[in-house]
Structure 1
Amino acid sequence: MRTWNDYKEHVAAVDPDIAKDIREAEAMSAIVKAMVEQRNAMGLSQRELAARCGIPQSSVARIESFKTMPNLDTLLKIFQQLGLKLTISAA
């Protein structure tokens, strides 16, 4: 195996449960990446975003560092303040 994608394909073929975990982690990573990129593009600090959302700055920091998984309510508050839209589809 030479790349991460090669490894993911191998794991998916061997263990569907781990493959599912990898897909979920990548989906969460894409959500957080969009959040951080938009916050930075808007010139907002974590503290400023948190104040707009009515949540502690530490919550934003934990989400952005993947130390916690936000609940849907918190995620929607953040996305609304950033002008982002969350789209969910069934796989």
Structure 2
Amino acid sequence: MMKLSKRLLELRGSISQAELARKAGVPQSAISEIEAGKRKPRIDTIQKLALALGVSVSELLDENEEPKAV
């Protein structure tokens, strides 16, 4: 499985960390730490990020899924 950090960065595309944080309702520092591989997010954070990115949790966690929204 691709690291969540790389998948999150891939799905985030041109959206800034600050914008994703606002949409997801999580601190921007949390997104930064997840993308840097310094933090393993709780499931509720993963759910919020997936919703904000317009993808399912499985799409966020699965490297074989093609992103449906960027």
Amino acid paired to 1:34: R
Runs of 5+ consecutive residues of structure 2 not aligned to the other structure: 62-70
Question: In structure 2, what is the equivalent of residue 52 of structure 1?
Answer: 23
1:28 CA drift (Å): 5.9
Runs of 5+ consecutive residues of structure 1 not aligned to the other structure: 1-26
> Once the two structures are aligned, what percentage of the paired residues are identical?
37
Quick check: which one's helix share is greater?
A: 1
Runs of 4 or more above 4 Å deviation? none
How many residues matched?
59
TM-score, normalised with respect to structure 2: 0.73
RCO higher in structure (CA 8 A, sep ≥6): 2
Question: In structure 2, what is the equivalent of residue 70 of structure 1?
Answer: 41
TM-score, normalised with respect to structure 1: 0.58
CA RMSD of aligned residues (A): 1.7
Matched residues in 2 for 1:47 and 1:76: separation?
A: 17
Amino acid paired to 1:73: D
Which structure has the larger Rg? 1
Rate the CA distance shift 1:78–1:57 in 2: closer, same or farther, 3 A.
Answer: same
